[in-house]
Amino acid sequence: MDYEVLDTITSADLAFRVLAGDRNELFRKGAAALMAIMVANYEDISMTRHHTIEMTDTSLEILYYRFLNEFLFLRDAELLLLLPCSVSITGTNGVLNLTCETRGERADRNKHSFNTDIKAVTMHHLRVEKTSSGWSATAVLDL
Amino acid sequence: MIFWTGLDMKNSSIRQIEETLFEIPRSYKKGMRVPARIYASAELLQSMDDAVLNQLTNVAMLPGILKYALCMPDGHSGYGFPIGGVAAIDPGEGIITPGGIGFDINCGVRLAATSLTLEEVQPRVKDLVSALFRQVPSGVGTTGMLNLSPSQFDEAMTQGASWAVKNGYSGKEDLEYIEEGGCMQGADPSTVSQRARERGKNQVGTLGSGNHYLEIQVARSENIFDADLARQFDITGENRIYLMIHTGSRGFGHQVATDYLQQFLSVMQRTYKLSMPDRELACAPFDSVDGRNYFGAMNCAINIAFLNRQLIMHRVREVFSEIFHRSPDELGIKTVYDVCHNTAKLERHLVDGREREVLIHRKGATRAFAPGMQGLPEKYRQCGQPVLIGGSMESGSYVLAGIPRGSDAFFTTAHGSGRILSRHQAKKMYNGRELQKKMEQRGIYIQTASFSGLAEEAGGAYKNIDDVAAATEKAGLSRVVAKLLPIGNIKG
């Protein structure tokens, strides 16, 4: 999985960074990394259920925070382990609209092997920024 | 005596006030309203990562903070507020911040005594651990033992542990020995989002994952350090068996914190003209609609955590009863005490010689009331509050007692060992399956839902619990009573 753990930010929790050429791919990679951090055999998650995530915000960083947290909400509320398939972020007049198509299945302790429980995505060191070579996003997870 | 330590800045700005008390002055960073103080031995301070000091000095900037931003001996870096951080806030002029409590609201520890001995339990420990692992839902994606209707969930939010007793679960006699009697006043379900309800509804009565555990422990006579206090806490040595439950409010509390962190961030500057150096310290005046709403929702999460531990205790009683073919009463299973780690509470404390109400944020820190204080059960009124410091799954845990000198820290003490290795580093150094085998060879039988998670919790990833307990006592935060050693453990 294409993400980097940043060991200098926090000892109790986990900070990670993803890089991508555009912000749609950045968000998709961020959510995929989140699931890979949590589920050891995330490749074995069957794509039997479909769910569309839609949200709007005026801040790209807060949108990223809310987007990642949505996967944790769906895990707990619907018992769904979802992987992001595609992300589309469009914006007009400072309002950002996100649509993400996800696929996955119900969590099954007999099938899925978990690395760790992620309690929440935090706003500590939360950063989404354009770089000279593309986009970068950093988030700290409360474990 | 005040002198400069030989530490680097982490350290050149740190003054050593006493052997186990260090201070960073207000002048260290623009915006600090009070100095920051760290309770630790020089060795423990040196083991703290630099982010702890940066986070603690940010806490010192919170509007309304009184006296000092405090860090306990087990302090380590978290997000926004360090784990082990304490801030006493003037509720009239100051703020409340979800970052000062954490996402796992009322993550806490319960210690229960039994009348069983090691000699009785050791031959059955594998059966016990296996049965507990089956009967107490743990790990990611498991559901709890309740299917609450919306109105029942509202009742649970306001009643806490007593909801379990009112609805036929065991433990009426436990309630007195839970902080706040297991029912935090001021819980307001109307301030809880639908998302928090949806996220929490499946998880009441689950252990969770990460550093949460259910442990079978033994009190050896040589590990009783204060026999009088130990006796009052029903810890008698002689290889007696104890149980420790470490869990919190699960997804419900996580969502309450997530909701209000976002809400506070949106109103902090626009409505209240407040700014903080870290968004995770987003805050609102306590005496505001936003502040009061969060306080009401957070108290609901405190109660759900109390209920969670009470339900797990019920299951533990059932399992022990089944294995030993004796009733829970015959097995003497009773709560010694149940403490909170992640809360903000209105308490009365002496500040500059005057008793006043203060809002104490404790994140990864334990209340430690001294003898005679209001809020203690009658049994502990003369001896002080039992304090439970959960160690790593390899090292054992400590029982301490609140003491009068703890007033300097608003009667707060350490809550655990404190990490020295990040989870990522620990996973590089330890293999979960090998660790399980080695622990079994040393007499600690463990079952886990995640071997990766087990590696993260290796004893070597934490500070030496003996050092933390010793520094805690030396710093006058609480008195060491006994050490309990693990013989069986389930981890989520």
Q: Pick the residue from chain A with its C-alpha nearest to B427.
A: A115
Q: Report the C-alpha gap between B261 and B130 in whole angstroms.
A: 39
pLDDT of residue A84: 98
**Residues A70, A101 contacting (CB under 8 angstroms):** no
Q: Which residues of chain B have a CB within 8 Å of the CB of A80?
A: none
Shortest Cα distance from A90 to chain B (angstroms)?
A: 22
pLDDT of residue B140: 81
C-alpha gyration radius of chain B = 21
Is the CB of residue B9 less than 8 Å away from at least one CB of chain A?
no
Which residues touch B53 (CB under 8 Å, ≥6 apart)?
B10, B14, B24, B36, B38
- Please state, in angstroms and as integers, the Cα–Cα distance from residue B52 to each residue in B80, B102, B343, following that order: 9, 15, 19
Shortest Cα distance from A15 to chain B (angstroms)?
A: 10
Question: Which of A59, A51, A61 has its CA nearest to residue A83?
Answer: A51
What φ, ψ does residue B234 adopt, rounded to 5°?
Answer: 65, 35
Contact A114 B102 (CB under 8 A): no
Q: Report the C-alpha gap between B428 and B450 in whole angstroms.
A: 15
Contact A73 B255 (CB under 8 A): yes
Q: Pick the residue from chain A with its C-alpha nearest to B422.
A: A11
**A12 closest CB neighbour out of B83, B139, B452:** B83
pLDDT of residue B358: 98
Q: Which residues of chain A have a CB within 8 Å of the CB of B420?
A: 11
Q: Pick the residue from chain A with its C-alpha nearest to B249.
A: A119
| DSSP string for B192-234 | S-HHHHHHHTTTTT---STT-EEEEEEE-GGGBS-HHHHHHTT
Choices 3.30.70.141, 3.55.10.10, 3.40.640.10, 3.40.50.1100: CATH for A4-142: 3.55.10.10
Domains of chain B: 3-491 (3.90.1860.10)
- Which residues in chain B come in under a pLDDT of 50? 1-7, 9
Q: Pick the residue from chain B with its C-alpha nearest to A5.
A: B424
Residue A66 pLDDT > 70, yes or no? Answer: yes
* Interface mutation target, options A59, A112, A117, A127, chain B, most CBs of B under 10 Å: A117
Q: What's the gap between Cα B220 and its chain centre?
A: 24
The CA dihedral of B332, B333, B337, B342, to the nearest 10 degrees, is: 170
Q: Which residues of chain B have a CB within 8 Å of the CB of A122?
A: 79-80, 103, 261, 280
Return residues 346-385 of B near A (CB < 8 Å).
Answer: none
pLDDT of residue B4: 35
Q: Pick the residue from chain B with its C-alpha nearest to A125.
A: B278
pLDDT band at A68 (very low <50, low <70, confident <90, very high): very high
What is the DSSP pairing of strand B479-491 with strand B397-401?
A: antiparallel
**A142 closest CB neighbour out of B103, B209, B425:** B103
Question: Which of B177, B162, B173, B83 has its CA nearest to residue B463?
Answer: B83
Q: Please indicate whether residue B341 is annotated as part of the active site.
A: no
Is the CB of residue B261 less than 8 Å away from at least one CB of chain A?
yes
C-alpha gyration radius of chain A = 14
**Residues B312, B117 contacting (CB under 8 angstroms):** no
The ipTM assigned to this model is 0.91
Q: Which amino acid is at A54?
A: E
Which residues touch A121 (CB under 8 Å, ≥6 apart)?
A34, A65, A68, A69, A72, A139, A140, A141, A142, B258
Annotated active-site residue in B254, B314, B361, B415: B415
Return residues 125-184 of B near A (CB < 8 Å).
Answer: 139-143
Q: Report the C-alpha gap between B162 and B25 in whole angstroms.
A: 45
The span from the first CA to the last CA of chain B, in angstroms, equals 47
Place of tokens 């928090």: B196
Q: Pick the residue from chain B with its C-alpha nearest to A108.
A: B141
Q: Which residues of chain A have a CB within 8 Å of the CB of B250?
A: 76
Place of tokens 């940066």: B54
- Please state, in angstroms and as integers, the Cα–Cα distance from residue B41 to each residue in B7, B44, B75, B462, B475, following that order: 12, 5, 12, 16, 9
* Interface mutation target, options A6, A11, A56, chain B, most CBs of B under 10 Å: A11
Q: What's the gap between Cα B25 and its chain centre?
A: 28
Q: Which residues of chain B have a CB within 8 Å of the CB of A109?
A: 139, 141-142, 449
Which residues touch B440 (CB under 8 Å, ≥6 apart)?
B446
Place of tokens 């310290």: B281
Side-chain half-sphere of B5: how many Cα atoms within 13 Å? 23
Contact B202 A76 (CB under 8 A): yes
Helices B289-324 and B250-267 cross at an angle (nearest 10°) of: 170
**Cα angle, residue A112 at apex, residues A111 and A118 outer, rounded to 5°:** 160
Contact A9 B492 (CB under 8 A): no
pLDDT of residue B5: 41
Question: Residues of A at the B interface (Cβ-Cβ below 8 Å)?
Answer: 5, 7-14, 38-40, 62, 65-66, 69, 72-73, 75-77, 79, 81, 107-109, 112-117, 119-126, 140, 142-143
Q: Report the C-alpha gap between B358 and B156 in whole angstroms.
A: 27
Q: Where do the domains of chain A lie?
A: 4-142
Q: Report the C-alpha gap between B414 and B418 in whole angstroms.
A: 9
Contact B51 A107 (CB under 8 A): no
The overall pTM is greater than 0.90: yes
Shortest Cα distance from A72 to chain B (angstroms)?
A: 9
Contact B104 A142 (CB under 8 A): yes
DSSP-derived letter for residue A2 is -
CB pairs under 8 A between A and B: 146
Cβ-based burial of A23 (10 A; exposed 0-12, middle 13-18, buried ≥19) = buried
Q: Report the C-alpha gap between A115 and A54 in whole angstroms.
A: 28
Shortest Cα distance from B272 to chain A (angstroms)?
A: 20
